[in-house]
Each structure stands twice: as structure tokens, then as C-alpha cells.
């Protein structure tokens, strides 16, 4: 193995130092592929001792500095490898952490910023090339972030919690009500959903946090997640459903008024039911109730590429079907051809942009892959009976 080339590759990839140290903690050589980078941290005696201290394992150990900078130490045979410093895009909380360290601003500015997953991939590659046995990402996470606990502890905690609820005669809301609520979303039955939401019962929602606001937000996230899965079972594209869920949860996280949160949650559930209802109306008399993986993949691709020009060849390549077979299969399940479906979805997206954005008609046409503003206008009127200007004038929401 050409170790110098490997070390230089790791240094170049992570834009930092790779050092080889002796077992007693002396740096024998250091390689850095970044010109002008000076590691002022390791010159501090307490940081040096922390970084070179050998833990009770030879596996890669992340040594964190103030939650935002880290090194990795691991041993292979008699050599100790130390990689770092590396900066992260979000705080890192490894088990081995040194806090309240003075960090030179020049060093901070010199370090490249990485995501944890990219960093993990590079370190695992480095270690697995050198070590006799390969290390998985789960094992890497376990030895760096997971405090040891036993299944007995989990069981004890659950037993104590269960005893406390039984003593206080606390009950959860009935499961059958939840089933009715989710089934109404799956069926696109808006009125049944409203009736299910309005049901009165003696139980209470789960306790997911001892902070009341955080608890309700957590409950909202659970309900939205269940609603998104129910909508997928009802025929919604998984990608569309997941995107709505992501956006809804972001809205929930940004709101701190409990009354407003509950109103938002119910509106989100109803929005899911309405979208499923529209899908079922469009699919009436087709084979849509029989889920087909090619159709699901096709619709997900269309949703993800609505701002592009989509061809039958694109869809055929994505699904692994011939264009003719896919077109026939799609029409059997959706009642329209793939190209008609694409146009319908583009018009739906245009309606959304006309109502909720300030984009010009030509910008909307360009974003959605129409050849011109007039092309968009012609297709839009064919589908809606309105010109884009008339639709915006009649339906645009005014900003508060």
C-alpha cells in the first residue's frame, strides 16, 4: 500500500492535517495539503494532551472542540493517526469533548465546513483501507455518540412509566378514532375527516415532552406524518406527500401559539384529504386502486421535474419500461396519457404560482418549461377556462 499517497488524498479531501503519531503520543509526521493552514489549536498543551490521549479502543474516535471543530484519532497496529481540525455545518456533540477552548479566528476562517455524513464517509474509507476489519457507519456512530445503556434500563423506564399512568388512571385517546381519521384522509373524505376530528373522548394524547409547547409540536409532527402516509395509500405521489409534510412541519416549528398550532394542524389534515379527493375524482373509472410501482415511480419523477421539459423517453428510462408500454399502462391506471398528466400537473403548479407568488406570467412559463408565455396561456385557458391574468385577478391571495 502507498501510505503517503493515501494520507495526502485524505488531507486534500478534508482540507486539513493528517498526522502519524507514536503510541506514547509524539507526533512523528504531519501532512497538510492546504497552503497557509496553521493548526494553532494543537499547540495548546491541554488540547494536545486531549487529542493524543489514547482511549480504550483502537476504533476511530472523534475528539470534539467546542462542539464545532473536531479531530479523529485511531490506531492501526503500532501507529496512531490523527486527522483534523475539521469544522462542521452544525454543532457536533461527540462523547469525547473538550469545551471552553480559545479558538483563533484565523484558524476558523481557514477551515472548510463539512457535513457530518461527508466527514464520516472519508474517515471510514481511511480507516477501512488501513485496518484488518472494516467498520460500519453504525459502529462508528455507536463508539462516538451513543452513551452505553442496557435493554434492562429501557424496560425499567417503561415499567415505571406504565405504572405511573395506571395509578393515575390516564388513558390514551382511542385507537379506532385515529383509524377513522387516517382512513378518511386515505379515502379523500373531507366530511368524514371533520367528523372524526370533532369526536369527543375521555382519553388524552400521548406525552412526548414535559414542555407543553414542545409536546404539542411533537404530536403535530406525528399526526402530519401519519396523514402523509394515509395520503400516499390514497393515491398521492410519495414525493408530493413528503414535500407537503416537510413544509407543514416547518410551519409547525415556526409557530408558538398553541391555539394557532391546533388550527394549522387541522388545516393540514384537510389539505391532505382535499388533495386525495381531487386525485380520486381524476382517476374515477380507472385502475388507480391497484397500485403499480411503475406508475408510482413515474408520478414521482414527474413531480420532481415539473420545472423541466419531460419526455416519454425520460419516463421510460426512469421506470425501465418501453415508452409505448408505459403510456398504455399509465392510461389504464390514471385515465389519461403521461403527457396529458404532465400538462395537467404543470397547469396545477401554474395555478399555485399565480395565486401564491408574484412571479410574472413569462417567469412562470419559463419555470414550468413552456415554450413561451402565450403557450402557457393557451394551455391554461384550455384546462381552467381562464387566462392566467384572469385567474390571478380572481383568486390571488393578498399578503397580510
Do 52 and 63 form a contact (C-beta atoms < 8 A)? Answer: no
Which residue from 205, 202, 184, 204 is spatially nearest to 194, judged by alpha carbons? 184
CB atoms within 10 A of CB 51: 24
Q: What is the pLDDT of residue 336?
A: 87
As a whole number of angstroms, the distance between CA 322 and CA 146 comes to 48
pLDDT of residue 115: 86
**DSSP 8-state symbol, 396:** P
Share of the chain above pLDDT 70, in %: 91
Backbone angles phi, psi at 10, to 5 degrees: -65, -40
pLDDT value at position 6? Answer: 93
**Dihedral, CA of residue 329, residue 330, residue 332 and residue 337, to nearest 10:** -120
- Kindly state the cell numbers that stand for 230: 394515509
pLDDT of 167 reads 60
**Angle ∠(226,229,235) on CA atoms, nearest 5:** 145
Q: Residue 320 to residues 166, 239, 314: CA-CA distances in angstroms? A: 55, 19, 10
Q: Cell numbers for 90, please give them.
A: 452544525
Beta carbons of 105 and 157 less than 8 angstroms apart = no
Neighbours of 35 (CB within 10 A): 5
The CATH number for 3-145, chosen from 2.60.40, 3.30.70, 1.10.3470, 3.30.450, is 3.30.450
| The predicted structure's pLDDT at residue 400 | 41
Q: Name which of 59, 83, 80, 82 is nearest 132 in CA terms.
A: 59
Q: Is 53 in contact with 75 (CB distance < 8 Å)?
A: no
The pTM assigned to this predicted structure is 0.55
309 phi, psi to nearest 5 deg = -85, 115
Q: Would you tell me which CATH number, out of the four given (3.40.1000.10, 2.102.10.10, 1.10.10.60, 1.10.287.3510), belongs to the domain 293-395? A: 1.10.10.60
**Burial class of 54 by CB neighbour count within 10 A (0 to 12, 13 to 18, 19+):** middle
Burial class (CB in 10 A: 0-12, 13-18, 19+), 115: exposed
Counting runs of H as helices and runs of E as strands, what totals does the chain give? Answer: 18, 7
Where do we find the cell 399509465? 330
pLDDT of residue 358: 85
pLDDT score of 264: 93
Per the DSSP assignment, residues forming a β-bridge with 30 are: 19
Asked if 74 contacts 127 with a C-beta cutoff of 8 angstroms, the reply is yes
Which residue, among 74, 95, 106, 98, has the nearest Cα to 10 in the 3D structure?
A: 74
The enclosing H or E element of 380 equals helix 373-384
**Are the beta carbons of 203 and 172 closer than 8 angstroms?**
yes
Which pLDDT tens digit goes with each residue over 190-237?
Answer: 898 888 888 776 667 778 888 989 999 999 999 999 999 999 888 888
Q: What pLDDT, on a 0 to 100 scale, did the predictor assign at position 147?
A: 64
d(CA 177, CA 122): 48
Whether cis (ω within 30° of 0) applies to the bond prior to 169 is no
For the chain, residues with pLDDT lower than 70 are 147-154, 161-170, 201-203, 283-290, 397-400
- Nearest Cα to Cα of residue 305 among 236, 367, 355: 367
Q: How far apart are CA 354 and CA 376, in angstroms?
A: 12
Distance between first and last Cα of the chain: 66
Query: Where does 1-56 have alpha helices with state H?
Result: 3-14, 45-52
C-alpha to C-alpha distance for 281 and 347, rounded to whole angstroms = 17
Residues composing the chain: 400
Amino acid at each position: 500500500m502507498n501510505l503517503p499517497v493515501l494520507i495526502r488524498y485524505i488531507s486534500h479531501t478534508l482540507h486539513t492535517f493528517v498526522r502519524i503519531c507514536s503510541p506514547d503520543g509524539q507526533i512523528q509526521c504531519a501532512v497538510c495539503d492546504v497552503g497557509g493552514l496553521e493548526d494553532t489549536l494543537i499547540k495548546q498543551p491541554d488540547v494536545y494532551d486531549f487529542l493524543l490521549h489514547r482511549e480504550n479502543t483502537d476504533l476511530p474516535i472523534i475528539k470534539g472542540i467546542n462542539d464545532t471543530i473536531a479531530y479523529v484519532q485511531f490506531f492501526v497496529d503500532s501507529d496512531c493517526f490523527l486527522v483534523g481540525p475539521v469544522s462542521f455545518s452544525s454543532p457536533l456533540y461527540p462523547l469525547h469533548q473538550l469545551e471552553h477552548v480559545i479558538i483563533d479566528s484565523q484558524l476558523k476562517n481557514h477551515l472548510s465546513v463539512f457535513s457530518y455524513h461527508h466527514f464520516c464517509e472519508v474517515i471510514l474509507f481511511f480507516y477501512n483501507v488501513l485496518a484488518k476489519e472494516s467498520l460500519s457507519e453504525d459502529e462508528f456512530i455507536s463508539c462516538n455518540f451513543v452513551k452505553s445503556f442496557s435493554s434492562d434500563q429501557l424496560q425499567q423506564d417503561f415499567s415505571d412509566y406504565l405504572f405511573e399512568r395506571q395509578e393515575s388512571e390516564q388513558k390514551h385517546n382511542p385507537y379506532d378514532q385515529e383509524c377513522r381519521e387516517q382512513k378518511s384522509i386515505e379515502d379523500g373524505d373531507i366530511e368524514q375527516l371533520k367528523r372524526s376530528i370533532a369526536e369527543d373522548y375521555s382519553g388524552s394524547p400521548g406525552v412526548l415532552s414535559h414542555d407543553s409547547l414542545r409536546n404539542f409540536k411533537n404530536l403535530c409532527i406525528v399526526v402530519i406524518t401519519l396523514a402523509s402516509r394515509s395520503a400516499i395509500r390514497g393515491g398521492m405521489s410519495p414525493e408530493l406527500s413528503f414535500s407537503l409534510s416537510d413544509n407543514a412541519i416547518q410551519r409547525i416549528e415556526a409557530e408558538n401559539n398553541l391555539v394557532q398550532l391546533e388550527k394549522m394542524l387541522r388545516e393540514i389534515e384537510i389539505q391532505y384529504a382535499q388533495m386525495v379527493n381531487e386525485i380520486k375524482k381524476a382517476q374515477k373509472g380507472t385502475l388507480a386502486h391497484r397500485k403499480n410501482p411503475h406508475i408510482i415511480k413515474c408520478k414521482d419523477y414527474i413531480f420532481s421535474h415539473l420545472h423541466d421539459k419531460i419526455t416519454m423517453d425520460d419516463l421510460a428510462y426512469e421506470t425501465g419500461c418501453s415508452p409505448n408500454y408505459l403510456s398504455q399502462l399509465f392510461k389504464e391506471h390514471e385515465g389519461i396519457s403521461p403527457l396529458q398528466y404532465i400538462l395537467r400537473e404543470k397547469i396545477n403548479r401554474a395555478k399555485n404560482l399565480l395565486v401564491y407568488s408574484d412571479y410574472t406570467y413569462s417567469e412562470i412559463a419559463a419555470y414550468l418549461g413552456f415554450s413561451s408565455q402565450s403557450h402557457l396561456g393557451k394551455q391554461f385557458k384550455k384546462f381552467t377556462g381562464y387566462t392566467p391574468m384572469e385567474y390571478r385577478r380572481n383568486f390571488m391571495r393578498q399578503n397580510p
